[in-house]
Structure 1
Amino acid sequence: MAWVFLISAGLLETVWAFYMKKSDGFTLLWPTVITAVAMLGSVVLLSLSMKTLPLSSAYVVWTGIGSVGAFLLGVTVLGEEAALMRFFAATLIVGGIALMKLSSSD
């Protein structure tokens, strides 16, 4: 169950990063509200996952999912640069996440 919490926390991190961008510096109400709720949910789920997962695995996976998710949303939804090197970097992050999961005994 800890991994479900952790993956969900990472997905919520992607959500809050996207809506923080859409909030225009916290000047738009609903994107700001979504940002705050997603942030809170992300941290709560991360903390629940850390009841059984080691910090070294949980934090890396959480930030990795958020980073890659934000990158993919930026490229696909916001029209940010889709350079080959940026995709390679995201692929390395995904590989690191997979290795963390495979190396964890939980």
Structure 2
Amino acid sequence: MAWLVLLVSGVLETVWAVALQASKGFSRPLPSVVFGVTVLLSMAGLSYALRTVPLGTGYAVWVAVGTLGTAVYGMLALGDPVSLPRLLFLSMIIGGVVGLKTVH
């Protein structure tokens, strides 16, 4: 259960990162509220998961899921550049997360 919560919390990290950018420095109310709610939920989920998942592994997975989600969102929705090196390095992050889960 902790791993599922950790993954959902990582996805929420993506949501709050996107909402933070969309808030334009907290000048737009709706994205600012979405940011606040999702950052709290994301941190609460991380905190819950860290009861059973080791700190280094849990934090690395949480950050990796958020990083991957944010990068993919940027490429698909915001026109961020897509290149072979970029995709290679993102796949290396995935490999690291799978490796951490395997040795846990």
- Global fold match (TM > 0.5): yes
Equivalent position of 1:18 in the other structure: 18
Q: Which runs of 5+ in 1 are unaligned?
A: none
Number of equivalent positions: 104
- State the shift of 1:10 in Å: 0.3
CA distance in 1, matches of 2:28, 2:83: 30
CA distance in 2, matches of 1:86, 1:27: 32
Equivalent position of 2:84 in the other structure: 84
Could you tell me which amino acid in structure 2 is paired with residue 97 of structure 1?
A: V
CA distance in 2, matches of 1:19, 1:84: 27
Q: Aligned Cα RMSD in Å?
A: 0.7
- State the shift of 1:22 in Å: 1.1
Could you tell me which amino acid in structure 2 is paired with residue 82 of structure 1?
A: V
Equivalent position of 1:66 in the other structure: 66
Q: Deviations over 1:15-73 (max 9, x none)?
A: 10111111112111101110111100000000000011100110000000000000000
**Percent of aligned pairs with the same amino acid:** 37
Structure 2-normalised TM-score?
0.97
Structure 1-normalised TM-score?
0.95
Please list every run of at least 4 consecutive aligned residues from structure 1 whose deviation after the TM superposition is greater than 6 angstroms.
none
